[in-house]
Amino acid sequence: MSTAERLMSSLTARRGERVLAWLAVGAVGVSAVLSLVASPPDAEQGGLIRLMYVHVPAAWVAYLAFAVVFVASVAYLRTRKTRWDRVAAASAEVGVLFTALTIVLGSIWAKPVWGTWWTWDPRLTTTAILLVIYVGYLAVRRLPDNPARRARWAAVVGIVGFVDVPIVHLSVRWWRSLHQAPARLIGVPDVSGSMGVALGVGFIAFTLVYLYFMALRLRVGRLEERVVAEALSPRIGQPAEALMEEPARG
Amino acid sequence: MAETLAAARYAGYVVAGYLIAGVGLGAYARLLFHRARRARARAAAMVARRAGPQR
Amino acid sequence: MSALGQALAIAKKDLRIEVRGRHVAGTILPFAGTLLIAFGLSLGPGRSLLRQTAPGLLWLAVLFASVLAFRQAYQAEGEDGAFESLILAPIDKASVFLGKAAAVVVELLALEAVVVGLVVVLFDLPVGHAPVVLAGAFVLGTIGLAVVGSLFGALAEMPRTREAIFPLLVLPLCTPVLVAGVKATELATTGPAGQAGSWLGLLLAFDVVVTGVGSLLFVYLVED
């Protein structure tokens, strides 16, 4: 790739990031209006239903992000392209953020509706374990080791963690079914009409936020790798980019 | 009256949820901008040091 | 030598180390016992509560013991660059993974036999109802713990690694083993043992999936 080409691609990357930023901000704005103002209160839960429009899309993004970690991890082990490792790192970080957000929002929703901050509901419990698994994944990523080895390690954790999730969910579901369900548990609300629109726009808005965060986080990842490469660059004047694709020596 | 009070109390949960979502996402974006700025500054500092007085 | 033979050779080697060094028997088993006594003290002397919680406490003790067993299994490899030689040996890497898992399965099963005896004495857990179901739960559960531990145990031997990272990874990944193991033990001791079948099936599924994925992926962990 020539210098000009590299410049071009980085420019479009920045422009793409900016476009995504505006799209995400716009969609979040529309989603907020739809879910806070334009949609009707629920027959059973009243205004509390409005928490659904942030909680459920956040959960969707969390699972999407971890699926991306899985795909990128497989792709990294197959191709050994640093790009895939960066994608996995970025997506895991964003995924942990959204998982934590999902749990907190779910708690805030559960308190007035179910009367408790937490129940050992299968979905809640699976999400909590998911959070811990990927916090562990990020901890592996922070190990001070040679980048290539760390990337391989992280990829293995990313794959095993994702494969484990369905089994965790199944085990927790069976485990839960042996206890009585709490009396105040209210079922899934009937979502239709303008509520369905609000929820759909919520999904779109959160997915755009995810894509924007990915673009931003990928750029941060490139910049931070550049710092490491500069620090390790053995000769004066050697471009740092030349060092970025191979494992650092140290 | 009691109903209005209850509705206001519940509205508190909704407001809190949206605030936490907004603050959480905003804080993460700010953190990323901060990390980008710091990384750029560090890289620039290293390049400048290397280009400066000859070793 | 076939891959299976290689795995067995590695398992035999690890068991010989244990027989000569007695790490599991001398350190980890007493630790598991201490843990059970601490559980008993923290939950008070009420007989029925202890009996009710006994299966869970039993599996927690096993879980912690398995974490320590793998620390030990890989720490032994860290000395004199033994692990490098093992990896450089012209054998299938998956057999290293399976062999180390098999050795720890044997060690843990021996440990569990003693720990179950302790729980019978300390917590008054009746184990006579369905010994086959109980044994099945422990064998299948231990295999699950061992394959997860064998996969990520190598992490503990990475240079400049952090101690807590291994349990941080292993404990959440082993949630199905903990849940299914506890439930199967509960059913085998105080409940209708006939209902334990689905839990044993879940343990088996976990074992098969993690063994398969681990055999495929272990090679990437030890590439250099």
Q: Which of A133, A152, A175 lies closest to C179 in CB terms?
A: A175
The pLDDT of residue A191 is 66
| CA atoms of A212 and A222, how far apart (whole Å) | 16
Q: Is the pLDDT of residue A185 over 50?
A: no
Put simply, whether A175 touches C (Cβ < 8 Å) is yes
Q: Touching check for C219 and chain A: CB below 8 Å?
A: no
The average confidence (pLDDT) of chain B is 83
The rounded radius of gyration (Å) of the Cα atoms in chain C is 18
To the nearest whole Å, the CA of A178 is away from the closest chain B CA by: 31
Could you tell me which chain B residue has the CA closest to the CA of A221? B36
The neighbour count for residue C24, using CB atoms within 10 Å, is 23
- Rounded Cα–Cα distance for residues A222 and A243 (Å): 12
With the C-alpha atoms ordered C104, C60, C122, C42, is the resulting torsion angle positive or negative? positive
Give how far A169 is from chain B: nearest CA, Å: 25
pLDDT tens-digit readout, A108-148: 988 888 888 888 888 888 899 999 999 999 999 988 778 88
- Could A105 and B50 be called an inter-chain contact, meaning their C-beta atoms sit closer than 8 Å? no
Closest to A47 (Cβ–Cβ): which among B14, B29, B43? B14
Q: In this structure, how many other beta carbons lie within 10 angstroms of the beta carbon of residue B2?
A: 6
Maximum Cα–Cα distance for chain C, whole Å?
57
In CATH, what number does A16-180+192-228 get? 1.20.120
Q: Which segments of chain C have a pLDDT < 70? A: 1, 158-160, 224
Contact between A220 and B39 using a beta-carbon 8 Å cutoff:
yes
Among A153, A144, A141, A127, smallest CA distance to A65 is for A127
- For residue A63, give the nearest of A116, A133, A3, A143 by alpha carbon: A133
Number of domains forming the structure of chain B? 1
Residue A238 has pLDDT above 60, yes or no: no
Least confident of A25-39, A143-157, A220-234: A220-234
How distant, in Å, are the alpha carbons of A65, A85, B14, B24 from that of B19? 23, 33, 9, 8
pLDDT of residue A248: 45
DSSP string computed for A16-30: HHHHHHHHHHHHHHH
Domain that holds residue B29: 1-55
DSSP symbol at A46: B
Q: Which pair of structure tokens corresponds to residue C5?
A: 């033979």
How distant, in Å, are the alpha carbons of A22, A127, B51, C44 from that of A9? Answer: 20, 37, 26, 66
- Displacement of CA A104 from its chain's centroid (Å): 15
* Angle, CA of C214, C218 and C221, to the nearest 5°: 135
Could you read off the pLDDT of A161-173 as tens digits, one per residue? 999 988 888 888 8
Q: Which helix (H) or strand (E) holds C190?
A: none
Q: C147: Cβ–Cβ under 8 A, 6 or more apart, which residues? A: C97, C101, C207, C210, C211, C214
Q: With beta carbons under 8 A apart, name residues in chain C contacting A167.
A: 176, 202, 205-206, 209
Asked if B touches A (at least 3 Cβ pairs < 8 angstroms), the answer reads yes
Q: Which two tokens stand for residue A188?
A: 């899934």
Q: Is the dihedral of CA C96, C97, C98, C104 positive or negative?
A: positive
Q: Which residues of A touch C163 (CB under 8 A)?
A: none
Q: Which residues contact B51 (CB under 8 A, 6 or more apart)?
A: A236
Q: What is the structure's pLDDT at C197?
A: 87
Question: In terms of CA atoms, which chain B residue is nearest residue A231?
Answer: B46
pLDDT band at B4 (very low <50, low <70, confident <90, very high): low
What are the structural domain ranges in chain A? 16-180+192-228
Q: What is the pLDDT of residue C159?
A: 65
Residues of C in contact with A144 (CB under 8 A): 160
Evaluate the CA torsion angle C62, C64, C65, C70 in order and state its sign.
positive
Q: Check CB contact under 8 Å for C161 and A143.
A: yes
| Residue type, position B6, single letter | A
Q: Read off the pLDDT band of A228 (50, 70, 90).
A: confident
List chain C domain ranges: 3-221
Interface test with A, best of B9, B28, B40 (most A CBs within 10 A): B28
Q: What dihedral angle (degrees, nearest 10) is formed by the CA atoms of B12, B17, B21, B24?
A: 80
Predicted pLDDT at A246: 47
Q: Give the residue from C134, C130, C111, C114 showing the smallest Cα distance to C122.
A: C114
| Identity of the residue in B9, B18, B39 whose CB atom sits nearest the CB atom of A54 | B18
Question: What does the longest C-alpha to C-alpha distance in chain A come to?
Answer: 71
